A and B are shown apart, each in its own frame.
Chain A
Amino acid sequence: MMHNHKNESVFVSGDEAVALGVRLSRPHVISAYPITPQTIVVERLSEMVEDGSLVARYIHVESEHSAMSAAMGASSVGARAFTATSSQGLLYMAEGLHYASGGRMPIVMMNANRSLALPWSIFGDHRDSMSMLDSGWIQVYVEDAQEALDMTIQAYRIAEDSSVLTPLMINLDGFILTHTYELVEVPPQEEVDSYLPPFSTPNKMSLEDPKSMGFSTSPADNMEFKYQQHKAMMDSREVIKQADKEYAEIFGRSYNGLIDCYQCDNAEYILVTAGSVTGTARVAVDSMRSKGIKAGVLRIRFMRPFPEQEVRNTLAGAASYGVLDKDISFGYEGTMFTNVNSALSGTAHIPRGINFIGGLGGRDISVQDIEEMFEALRLCPAHDYTEYRKNRIRFVNMGVSIHE
């Protein structure tokens, strides 16, 4: 791999790393509306526009719905657009999320993962973005500030690929990533420029070829457009891998595509995670391994497109697996768990899985909590089936007894 030597190292928060990534991606239009814990992104971008280090139109919108509508307006005339939100804001723009993906507008948005009201909480979990899983956006969950910056640049490359033309949401755990300072390498602008070509799309209004956009269809045509959306998202899997590979060649950092595994090769017990909790899980894996227990962690980076094959290949040989969801679909189970189980269905040997629901509303998840998950994974293959099914969904680190 070719490592460049012109990188600048800066000590920044996850939010600031995203802002730096946005600047390097040269968007034409930024639509901004504040919401904790995303706000720092749009604050930094406004400063960059003010000092001239970022040449872009900065629109102060009056709501998240308008943030997405403005981004779509920009995208519809062929401009590269960025916006950012979190939690309630993401839900308020829900109509726009489906609209942008249906319109094949490759907008990039940062989402600071935060709990949903009620009760109110500004702290992190994944219930906001997971509830938008069906909105047709590519969804990536990053683990640290460096990945946040790198993925912001890769996001435009992936979303704007002519076979993809699908918007992309970069998810950062609220506070844990958005507000934590880390040393981040900032690549030089000219190398980003060589990696990320200017935005071009056939799907735009122009004076040479006036377009009617966002049209309506009868039942005779609607499914074809929906099929195209699905196909583009499925095709994006290869584009994501290629974008990662080329990024590694130029910048020396790779994230292994759709999933990121730690000690999974010969692991008997694998915990599936997303986002920042993965670091804690790796420490727990090391601890389990030091006791001779073959533990591993599979970090899902992309929830859409879902890394079905990678998940299946990694988990199929395990004795059992756990899925740590910072989310729950009330009345069933965590959304990642449902997706992982679906990926495994139909394989010859399906290991037993346990769903750990944790971290809701910012509840801490410690190394010890994760060690206990691995202990549970060790025990579950031996349980009788009824007993196993009864305890398949487990709430981690509850502050009170829930056995009434």
Chain B
Amino acid sequence: MDKPELKNFTKPESIKDYPVGPSFSGGHLVSVNSGWRTFKPVVALDTCTGCYRCYLVCPDGVIVKTEAGKVAVDYDFCKGCGVCAHECPFDAIEMVKEDLQK
């Protein structure tokens, strides 16, 4: 997966450190989306066939193709919508309640 890195960002102290007008580097991520989730997708690797249906339909692009030809999830940015689990033709993804994992 090829995505922007999470960056540390501190608010500028001087007006001179602000961008000139509302213009900023693209792909500048300073916060994650994991806190949005109630359920998280958990991939059963033995059932996953690597068809990548979940990768195709993820609205957030958080499904990662692994070298083993399976998939993994970028939990920093997964919002837990459940589209991946619902669309999986092999029932290889289960939505698991977050607090049960803690």
Contacts and interface: CB of A to CB of B under 8 A. Distances in A.
Direct interface between A and B, CB < 8 A:
yes
A100 to B, nearest CB: 10
Contact of B22 (A103, A210, A227, A231): A103
A203 interface: yes
Interface residues of A, number: 24
A212 B21 contact: no
A26 interface: no
B22 A214 contact: yes
Contacts of A224: 12, 15, 18
A215 interface: yes
B8 interface: no
B41 to A, nearest CB: 29
Nearest to B28: A212
Contacts of B28: 212
Contacts of A331: none
Please report whether the interface of chain A is mostly helix, strand, loop or mixed according to DSSP.
loop
Interface in B1-27: 11-12, 15, 18, 20-27
Given A224-B15, A227-B15, A228-B15, A210 B20 contact: no
Interface residues of B, number: 13
A165 to B, nearest CB: 6
Interface of A: 102-105, 165, 202-204, 209-217, 220-221, 224-225, 227-228, 231
Given A203-B20, A216-B22, 16 more contacts: A102-B22, A103-B23, A104-B21, A165-B21, A203-B21, A203-B23, A209-B25, A211-B25, A212-B24, A215-B23, A215-B24, A220-B11, A221-B11, A228-B18, A228-B20, A231-B15
Interface of B: 11-12, 15, 18, 20-28
